[in-house]
A and B are shown apart, each in its own frame.
Chain A
């Protein structure tokens, strides 16, 4: 009796309840249209272009099938060394971010007073408000010969590294740090206080506590953060352009080929994708992804 009344009151719910398939379709229609229609299709188009030819005379793309563009990644020494250099830079950026994020996270979550914690949280996220190019130019100005860094370090007789790979790593670490710091801070904050107490009771001092208790428990957060720092660094090329001196990254090769040789650019854009997939597979092997 009462179900009949409810039926008449909620026709949409009733309709959906009776038709689970339609319910599923309605739920997934929008995200799937986006995922397949926009994201997957454009990736496929990219992959297809990578096996096409280029007319050397007019730089026009000709459909066809060749693996030469992929082969060139390995056969041209400059391409291979650029790919390896980019991988090394992305890994270095990730390591730097982790090294900064863990002590900061522990301090913020367990030691700092609430107002200091809030201040630091704002300080970490504040750079996200500024434009990407603004931050790049800020780093550029900081590390120029007559810039802030050299001015500050002059009394100690230290001069900056000049534009090159070290400053590129530092700049990328600066750009992507919030993506590592926030998940790590949140993860440490969720660790119960009594775990620290237990660790101390068992005689562990600072370092053993960090390495044997904190680190294993926050590994999923570090992996989550590193997916951002690693993949964003792989795709970046403006940092190399503005603070890298003569450093060339994968993105630089894509950018210089995008108008003149789109197939090579497309083939090269697969390299960061391959690196990220490899990274995720390794992360999965360690079991970290299941606990995320």
Chain B
């Protein structure tokens, strides 16, 4: 469960690119992506920028100074799910998106977003957390497509009054003999299949899952079986954060998937989060630029502007996640407390987290002899899990 499994092929490809000047010649993970040209130099601001973003990413507090500085008027459209983000970006009406990894790779292989010229984004610097650089979901064949915004882990939240202590393993949400059967919650989206895969990686090594997002048909079937087993002991699935919070606070749920920020909002002393021994999945959000944008200069300016410590930190505090720019942490006591709560600087923590990545037919673990299951397969499988 080392992050390097994800980052290594991409970094290798990046190194190969730097050394030979020839993309992905190394033979390590090469994905078929449409050839979209990269921007080579900045020009005059277009005066407009249309953003698809998660709630809390675009706020007048940092938009107004940006508009005053560049003249780019920002129009924000808040999306509720990754799928909605992909659909919106494919309309061609938006210039930039704050995609999570499960949407990012889909957009990249679909040719909907363009590779980025990092030289034009000076704020993408050493201050960006190491664990958010060069990940497969936004760096493909050595080309960077995304600039990191922040990240959060899918943690195991538990009601300490009931459990007594922190569960060491995710088995409390997966196994039929769980003492909390009927009071378990799980994330309601096809990408949750990866959480089953992470559990299987640890407990069923014979399945030889190397990456929870690269599942061949046998491995997906095993994950689906585990999810069906879980379905029998699930209290409720959640996709709406408010519903999840009320479920924990109201006592309907004792253990289940959560985010640090949801625990914070629940504001109950007996609700705690933990990262079990199997590790977990997490969402890593990045800015991606549409391949057909007419406002690319404003888009680059926005990405650079939001990558500086103060703005990136403000976004991460507003949303409730670990900021990508960890220089923000040292600003003052409040920001340090925020970074500590969300483990922003703790790479050892993130080493145990598999960033959401769109499953595609080409196996992202580098296997070429088998075809992996695509997100379409995962979506179809997810519906059958809930029966």
Q: Which residues of A contact B (CB under 8 A)?
A: 54, 56-60, 76-79, 81-82, 137, 140-141, 144-147, 162-163, 241-242, 244-246, 248, 252-253, 256-257, 259-261
A79 to B386, CA, bound (A): 10
Q: Does B142 contact A (CB under 8 A)?
A: no
Asked whether A147 lies within 8 Å of B384 as measured between CB atoms, the reply is: no
Within 8 A of A (CB), among B361-382: 361, 374-377, 379-380, 382
Asked whether A77 lies within 8 Å of B384 as measured between CB atoms, the reply is: yes
On whether A260 and B81 interact (CB within 8 A), knowing A246-B235, A248-B386, the answer reads no
Asked whether A162 lies within 8 Å of B235 as measured between CB atoms, the reply is: yes
Q: Does B194 contact A (CB under 8 A)?
A: no
Cβ-neighbour of B382 out of A79, A162, A256 (below 8 A): A256
- List residues of chain A with CB within 8 A of the CB of B231: 246
> Closest Cβ of chain B: how far from A85's Cβ, in Å?
9
Asked whether B379 lies within 8 Å of A145 as measured between CB atoms, the reply is: no
Q: Does B25 contact A (CB under 8 A)?
A: no
- List residues of chain B with CB within 8 A of the CB of A141: 246, 250
Q: Which residues of B contact A (CB under 8 A)?
A: 81, 83-84, 86-87, 90, 106, 109-110, 182, 188, 190, 231, 234-237, 239-240, 242-243, 246-247, 250-252, 360-361, 374-377, 379-380, 382-387
9 smallest A-B Cβ distances: which pairs?
Answer: A144-B250, A145-B251, A259-B83, A78-B384, A56-B376, A248-B386, A58-B110, A245-B236, A246-B234
Cβ-neighbour of A82 out of B251, B382, B387 (below 8 A): B387
Q: With CB as the reference atom, state the residue of chain B lying closest to A144.
A: B250
Q: With CB as the reference atom, state the residue of chain A lying closest to B110.
A: A58
Q: With CB as the reference atom, state the residue of chain A lying closest to B186.
A: A246
On whether A147 and B376 interact (CB within 8 A), knowing A78-B384, A78-B387, A246-B386, the answer reads no
List 4 additional A-B contacts (Cβ < 8 Å) besides A58-B109, A162-B235, A259-B87.
Answer: A57-B109, A58-B110, A145-B252, A241-B240
Best-surrounded residue of B83, B110, B250 (most CB of chain A within 10 A): B250
- List residues of chain A with CB within 8 A of the CB of B242: 137
> Closest Cβ of chain B: how far from A148's Cβ, in Å?
11
Asked whether A78 lies within 8 Å of B234 as measured between CB atoms, the reply is: no
- List residues of chain B with CB within 8 A of the CB of A58: 106, 109-110
A91 to B190, CA, bound (A): 30
- List residues of chain A with CB within 8 A of the CB of B235: 162-163, 245-246
Asked whether B246 lies within 8 Å of A144 as measured between CB atoms, the reply is: yes
- List residues of chain B with CB within 8 A of the CB of A147: 250
Asked whether A248 lies within 8 Å of B387 as measured between CB atoms, the reply is: yes
Best-surrounded residue of A60, A141, A147, A163 (most CB of chain B within 10 A): A163
B interface: dominant SS: helix
CB pairs A–B below 8 angstroms (29 shown): A56-B376, A56-B377, A59-B106, A76-B383, A76-B384, A77-B387, A78-B385, A78-B386, A79-B383, A140-B246, A141-B246, A144-B246, A144-B250, A144-B252, A145-B252, A146-B250, A162-B182, A241-B188, A241-B240, A242-B240, A242-B243, A244-B236, A245-B236, A246-B231, A246-B386, A248-B383, A259-B81, A259-B87, A261-B379
- List residues of chain A with CB within 8 A of the CB of B376: 54, 56, 59, 260-261
Q: With CB as the reference atom, state the residue of chain A lying closest to B250.
A: A144
Q: With CB as the reference atom, state the residue of chain B lying closest to A136.
A: B243
A58 to B231, CA, bound (A): 29
Cβ-neighbour of A144 out of B251, B375, B379, B382 (below 8 A): B251
Q: With CB as the reference atom, state the residue of chain A lying closest to B90.
A: A60
Asked whether A59 lies within 8 Å of B240 as measured between CB atoms, the reply is: no
A163 to B83, CA, bound (A): 27
- List residues of chain B with CB within 8 A of the CB of A140: 243, 246
Cβ-neighbour of B247 out of A78, A144, A257 (below 8 A): A144
> Closest Cβ of chain A: how far from B71's Cβ, in Å?
34
Q: With CB as the reference atom, state the residue of chain A lying closest to B182.
A: A162
> Closest Cβ of chain B: how far from A27's Cβ, in Å?
39
> Closest Cβ of chain B: how far from A107's Cβ, in Å?
35
- List residues of chain B with CB within 8 A of the CB of A245: 234-236
Cβ-neighbour of B383 out of A57, A137, A246, A253 (below 8 A): A253
- List residues of chain B with CB within 8 A of the CB of A163: 235-236, 252
Asked whether A252 lies within 8 Å of B386 as measured between CB atoms, the reply is: yes
Best-surrounded residue of A58, A140, A162 (most CB of chain B within 10 A): A58
> Closest Cβ of chain B: how far from A224's Cβ, in Å?
34
Asked whether B252 lies within 8 Å of A162 as measured between CB atoms, the reply is: yes
Cβ-neighbour of B360 out of A57, A77, A79, A248 (below 8 A): A57
Cβ-neighbour of B387 out of A54, A81, A244, A261 (below 8 A): A81
> Closest Cβ of chain B: how far from A246's Cβ, in Å?
5
> Closest Cβ of chain B: how far from A141's Cβ, in Å?
7
A252 to B81, CA, bound (A): 15
A162 to B86, CA, bound (A): 35
Q: With CB as the reference atom, state the residue of chain A lying closest to B243.
A: A242
- List residues of chain B with CB within 8 A of the CB of A257: 379, 383
Best-surrounded residue of B188, B237, B382 (most CB of chain A within 10 A): B237
> Closest Cβ of chain B: how far from A220's Cβ, in Å?
38
A268 to B50, CA, bound (A): 33
Q: With CB as the reference atom, state the residue of chain B lying closest to A262.
A: B87
> Closest Cβ of chain B: how far from A86's Cβ, in Å?
12
On whether A259 and B86 interact (CB within 8 A), knowing A144-B252, A241-B240, A246-B235, the answer reads yes
- List residues of chain B with CB within 8 A of the CB of A54: 376
Asked whether A57 lies within 8 Å of B252 as measured between CB atoms, the reply is: no
Asked whether A256 lies within 8 Å of B374 as measured between CB atoms, the reply is: no
On whether A259 and B383 interact (CB within 8 A), knowing A245-B234, A245-B236, the answer reads no
On whether A246 and B379 interact (CB within 8 A), knowing A78-B384, A145-B252, A259-B84, the answer reads no
Cβ-neighbour of A260 out of B83, B237, B239, B252 (below 8 A): B83
A107 to B84, CA, bound (A): 49
> Closest Cβ of chain B: how far from A197's Cβ, in Å?
52
Q: With CB as the reference atom, state the residue of chain A lying closest to B378.
A: A260
Best-surrounded residue of A54, A76, A140, A244 (most CB of chain B within 10 A): A140
- List residues of chain B with CB within 8 A of the CB of A241: 188, 239-240, 243
A137 to B345, CA, bound (A): 38
- List residues of chain B with CB within 8 A of the CB of A261: 376, 379-380
